[in-house]
A and B are shown apart, each in its own frame.
Chain A
Amino acid sequence: MPFSGVEATFWAMLAPFVAAALAPVLTQKLKHNAAWVLAAVPALIFVHLLSLVSSVASGQTYALGLEWVPSYGVTFSIYLDGLSTLFALLISGIGTFVVLYAGGYLKGHPKQGSFFSFLFLFMGAMLGVVLANNLITLFIFWELTSITSFLLIGFDHLRTASRRAAIQALVVTGAGGMALLAGFILIGIAGGSMEMNEVLASGDVLRDSNLYGAIFVLICLGAFTKSAQFPFHFWLPNAMEAPTPVSAYLHSATMVKAGVYLLMRLNPVMGDTALWTTILPLFGGITLLAGVIIGIRQTDLKLMLAYTTVASLGLLVMLTGAPNTVAVKGAVIYLLAHSLFKGSLFMMAGTIDHEAGTRDITKLGGLRNAMPITFAAAVLAALSMAGLPPFIGFVAKEVLYDGAWNTIGSGFVIALVALCGNVLMFALAMAVALKPFLGEKVETPKHAHEGPILLWAGPITLALSGLALGLLAGYAGYLFVNPMVSAVSGLAYGKELYLLPHHLNMALAMSVITIALGVFAFLRIDYLRGLVDRILTTIGWGPDKGFDQLITLVVRFSDRFTRLVQGGSMVTYMRLSFASVAVMLFVPMMVTGNWPTMVGFENLAYFEWAFVVLAVIGLYAVITAKNRVTGIVSLGITGFSVAVIYTLFGAPDLSLTQFMVETLSVVILALVMTRLDLKPKDVRSKEDRVTDGVIAGGVGLGVAMLLMTIVRLPFDSTLPQFFTEYSYSIAHGRNLVNVILVDFRGFDTIGEIAVVMVAGLSVLALIRVRPKKSQSEKLVEPVKEAAE
């Protein structure tokens, strides 16, 4: 594949994984300075994608594919349009600075190498999610982001809180991923294709399909869990246990937007239905309000930012659901603005934590002189978040108010919710950016001073990008926003974007209200915090607690269930297993009424009868045997008789095997008996004997009847003909059985011998298990029970 042009995107997708492999070695050699080298990878990806922007902006889309699993229609294919290109740009662009930041933040950490590794794995996965064209490929990358997120949240795995947060994130997003897979498969069935570009071109097929409801619910479950929508929002604030570079990258700028990406992606073919325009704004709106309200309560910088992220995701989902192109455009610009300012603010919070030793807002103040660059970055980013001109955040807010207000039907409600959310977001932005820096100098655990360049390069660059995009709104609109709006709305969109509105409209009025109320809320933030705190304490229950209760419930249930089916008595296991087999054998015959008929017995020769009789004698000997060893040996009589019958009916291979298996099972059973420390005699009660007899008879009769049914079926000679014809001519063997085993069906045999080997290993392991002295009493009980 060429290294330039659109096909190089494949290399761009591979690059992060290569970097993940190299990162530990590089970090060992160069220590934290490895970040400079590693950051070149996402930077190059960014440059590559940037080179495609102009052609994407002119309306070009690319769909390229490599075959992966052709038999299941899975291709490794990518799709580049306005939506995926902008996402990929954000992932690689912010990724560059996050890698640098991680270099400074985890400087000297013994596991910095593996941290870089996980970070790059995540980057690769995330690029895969947004670039994948095939739905199955997308799903695989989607799950990979969940797994890498788990590794990164639990990076500090010695802390209980980290582990809990990591598992919680994995369970919530993993469960959503399962729903998503089902949704994708249904899309494939309803839409007739697993390729995104073909699905997108299918017009109203999905909307008209009677599977639409199911697809909608499943896709929403996947998207809502990933993008932390109410009521699944709780995992995101908990994920703040991760080191700050992770919070900045995964849990604000990129991964949590995967759900929004998916909804935007499917908007052209699934949007504009009553379901879509109700559910999305409803849950998005609740998430927005819940996010900002709970956010107000927090005093930890990272948690405040995390809740505003939840709120922003709610806003994005709400706007994506609004049946209005301008609202979608607002969502697109807001998404761009949010990635920049939130990434920057998180890094700023991390720097403060790193340098001052705390990130509790009540314990910080007056850092402006100690950390001037961080202060500048914080203010620039917060102004964008607050939606003040001339930042891109202002443009976003103007457009989204305009879009929300003009949405037919629900416009007023959506606009009002957006307004409330933005007011509190404004207050939070100010609090996060100003509180630690202004006011009197407060003593902090560490003596605060400006961090190294690795720590401030990212926040300041991202914050300045927000300013630049705002000033150059026209270019940003043409290059990034309009192509993405076209992709999300499914219609070519080419309206110009301005920084300042050309005339007074409702949106501007709402902006003014937002700022006025926002300033007021900021000044009264301590009062609001107390208020929210009191209300939430009164409620006392939240989804986070609910998650714990659910997990406890599941554990308790599985505990009970395990006790029920794994009681420790081997007799019970055997009875249950064989009774189930008997039921499985008889139920189909009963249901279909397809009972076998007796055939062929009258054709038996006298010596054939002799062996049948011998088998029955063996059976009689087993039942009446005085002790166990006699019983086992008598079992051999029946086995050998059956083996002879095989020979008589022309199956020498089968017969030979049967002979050997019989011999060995007698030997091994006898050995097992000696080990089990059993009483030589059978000491079961009469009832037990009857029960066991009924089960044994049932299984035996069932198998016999099944065989009789099979024999009655018309004989299909295709396979035998094929094997007789080709066995010698192409496989050079006259023994059909052997040729099938080692040649025609050789792959099956590989599987089988692997099973034999693993079974042998397991038996070996089980025999080697020796109960500890303290447990031996407990373990002897069931064994004795089994014997009796």
Chain B
Amino acid sequence: MNTVIFRTIAPYLSALMMVFSIFVLLRGHNEPGGGFIGGLIAVSAFAIYGIACGVAAVRRAMVVHPMSLAGIGLFIAVLSVLPSYLFAQAPMTSQWLIFDFLGSTMKLSTPLVFDIGVYLVVVGAITSIALSLEERDVD
């Protein structure tokens, strides 16, 4: 499986998939996509990169331990519940910030933050499973 072609293509393919996963994450509110699917695409990207270049390379690329990524994700997701308390609304009531930026309408919201959290949890948890299965001796 570990052919030269695959090893050469894999980093570019992974990078492309990463970009795509973020695209899918961000457009999720209106088009098919979202944090969960985006996260799974990103995991596939890491898996491909790992198969081609080894686990150590993936770990270097991820900088932090994938499980901490999942932890951060869960934290962000829970954090997005809080702003509604500031406005004395029911917990998790979504807050929207809609403004014009460079001629297009931007819509930032707590559900988006929440979705990013979901994305990170999925990426972190599943990547860490895949990576630890892939490497045999050290962790």
Q: Which of B37, B92, B94, B134 contacts A653 (CB 8 A)?
A: B37
In this complex, the interface size class of chain A, counting residues with CB under 8 Å from chain B, is 35 or more
Answer whether A661 and B40 are a contact pair too, CB < 8 Å, given A735-B31, A738-B29: yes
CA distance A653 to B36 in the complex (A): 10
Assess whether A735 is in contact with B129, with CB atoms less than 8 Å apart: no
Whole-angstrom CA separation of A761 from B31 in the bound complex: 32
Chain B residues bordering chain A, tally (CB within 8 A): 49
Give the complex CA separation of A733 and B117 in angstroms: 18
Answer yes or no: A523 CB below 8 A from chain B CBs.
no
Contacts of A732 in B (CB 8 A): 29, 96, 107, 109
Given A732-B109, A738-B28, A746-B92: A756 and B33 within 8 A (CB)? no
Give min CB distance, B131 to chain A, whole Å.
9
B30 at the interface (CB under 8 A from A): yes
| A733, B112: Cα distance in complex, Å | 11
Contact (A652, B32) CB under 8 Å given A743-B111, A757-B125: yes
- The answer, yes or no, to whether A54 is at the interface (CB within 8 Å) is no
Q: Is A754 an interface residue (CB 8 A)?
A: yes
Contacts of A764 in B (CB 8 A): 67, 128-129, 132
A759 partner, pick from B41, B118, B125, beta carbons under 8 A? B125
Inter-subunit contact B67/A760 (CB<8 Å): yes
Contact B30 A756 (CB under 8 A): no
Q: Which residues of B from 69 to 99 have beta carbons under 8 Å from A?
A: 70-71, 73-74, 77-78, 81, 92, 94, 96
Max chain B CB contacts within 10 Å: which of A675, A738, A754? A738
A733 near B133: Cβ-Cβ < 8 Å: no
- CB-nearest residue of chain B relative to A675? B133
Point out the residue from A660, A674, A760 that lies within 8 Å of B44, measured CB to CB: A660
Interface secondary structure of B, over-half rule: helix
| Contact string against B for A residues 726-761, beta-carbon threshold 8 Å, 1 for contact and 0 otherwise | 000001111101110111001101100110110111
Asked if A671 lies at the interface with its beta carbon under 8 angstroms from chain B, I say yes
- Option from A656, A749, A759 in Cβ contact (under 8 Å) with B32: A656
| Residues from chain A with Cβ under 8 Å of B73 in the complex | 753, 757
Residues of A within 8 A of B107 (CB): 732
**CB-defined contacts of A754 to chain B, threshold 8 Å:** 74
CB distance from B39 to the nearest CB of A (A): 9
The answer to whether residues A760 and B33 also contact, given A664-B40, A732-B96 and a CB cut-off of 8 A, is no
Shortest Cβ distance from residue B103 to the other chain A in the assembled complex, whole angstroms: 20
Query: Is B121 in the interface zone, CB < 8 Å from A?
Result: yes
In whole angstroms, how far apart are the Cα atoms of A653 and B44 in the complex?
A: 17
CB neighbours of B47 from chain A (8 A): 664, 667
From residue A169, how far is it (CB to closest CB) to chain B in Å?
A: 39
- Interface residues in A636-679 (C-beta closer than 8 Å to B): 652-653, 656-657, 660-661, 663-664, 667-668, 671-672, 674-675
A767–B111 CB distance below 8 A: no
**Complex-state Cα separation, A731 to B128, whole angstroms:** 33
Segment 400-453 of A: residues with Cβ below 8 Å from B: none
Which residue of the partner chain B has the closest CB to A654?
Answer: B32
Check: B43 CB closer than 8 A to any chain A CB.
yes
Do the beta carbons of B122 and A756 come within 8 Å of each other? yes
Q: How many A-B residue pairs have CB under 8 A?
A: 134
Are the CB atoms of A735 and B28 closer together than 8 Å?
Answer: yes
A732-B107, A753-B73, A764-B132 known; A742+B118 contact, CB < 8 A:
yes
Q: Which of B115, B121, B139 contacts A742 (CB 8 A)?
A: B115
Q: Does B10 contact A (CB under 8 A)?
A: no
- Option from A734, A735, A742 in Cβ contact (under 8 Å) with B114: A742
Q: Within 8 Å CB of B133, what residues of A?
A: 668, 671-672, 674-675, 767
- Smallest beta-carbon distance A758→chain B, Å: 9
The distance from the CB of A101 to the nearest CB of chain B, in whole angstroms, is 46
Q: Which residues of B contact A550 (CB under 8 A)?
A: none
Does B121 lie within 8 Å of A733, measured CB to CB? no
Residues in A whose Cβ lies below 8 Å from that of B115: 738, 741-742
Q: Is A707 an interface residue (CB 8 A)?
A: no
CB under 8 Å from chain B, chain A span 758-777:
759-761, 763-764, 767-768
Q: Which residue of A660, A671, A743, A753 is within 8 Å of B134 (Cβ)?
A: A671
Knowing A657-B37, A738-B34 are in contact, say whether A753-B44 is a contact too (CB < 8 A): no
Known contacts A664-B40, A753-B121; is-contact A741 B130 (Cβ 8 Å): no
Q: Which of A737, A753, A761 contacts B117 (CB 8 A)?
A: A753
Known: A653-B34, A732-B29. A763 touches B129 (CB 8 A): yes
A735 touches B30 (CB 8 A): yes
A668 B74 Cβ-Cβ under 8 A: no
A741, B125: Cα distance in complex, Å = 19
**B126 at interface, CB cutoff 8 A:** yes
Chain B residue numbers with a CB within 8 Å of A660 are 37, 40-41, 43-44
Nearest B residue to A656, CB-CB: B37
* List of A residues within 8 angstroms of B60 by Cβ: none
Query: Roughly how many angstroms separate A485 CA and B93 CA in the complex, as a whole number?
Result: 53
Q: Inside 8 A of A737's CB, which chain B residues have their CB?
A: 32, 34
Q: In this complex, which of A656, A761, A768 has the most chain B Cβ atoms within 10 angstroms of its Cβ?
A: A656
Central interface residue in B24, B28, B81, by most chain A CB within 10 Å: B28
Smallest distance from the beta carbon of B56 to chain A beta carbons, Å? 16
Residues of B within 8 Å of A668, CB to CB, are: 129-130, 133
Q: Is the CB of A749 within 8 A of B37?
A: no
Alpha-carbon separation in the docked complex, A399 to B86 (Å): 62
Cβ-closest chain B residue relative to A672: B133
Report the separation of the CA atoms of residues A660 and B38 in the bound assembly, to the nearest whole angstrom: 9
Closest to B113 in A: A742
CB contact between B29 and one of A664, A674, A739, A759 (< 8 Å): that residue: A739
Within 8 A of B (CB), among A323-358: none
Assess A675 versus B136: contact at CB under 8 Å? Given A664-B43, A731-B111, A757-B121: yes
Residues of A in contact with B (beta carbons under 8 Å apart): 652-653, 656-657, 660-661, 663-664, 667-668, 671-672, 674-675, 731-735, 737-739, 741-743, 746-747, 749-750, 753-754, 756-757, 759-761, 763-764, 767-768
Known: A657-B36, A664-B40, A671-B130. 6 other contacts (CB 8 A): A652-B32, A660-B37, A732-B29, A732-B109, A739-B111, A768-B139
5 shortest A-B CB distances, which residue pairs? A760-B125, A660-B40, A652-B32, A671-B133, A733-B29
Mind listing 15 A-B residue pairs with CB under 8 Å? Answer: A653-B33, A656-B24, A657-B36, A671-B133, A674-B133, A731-B111, A735-B30, A737-B32, A741-B35, A753-B122, A754-B74, A756-B121, A757-B73, A761-B125, A763-B132
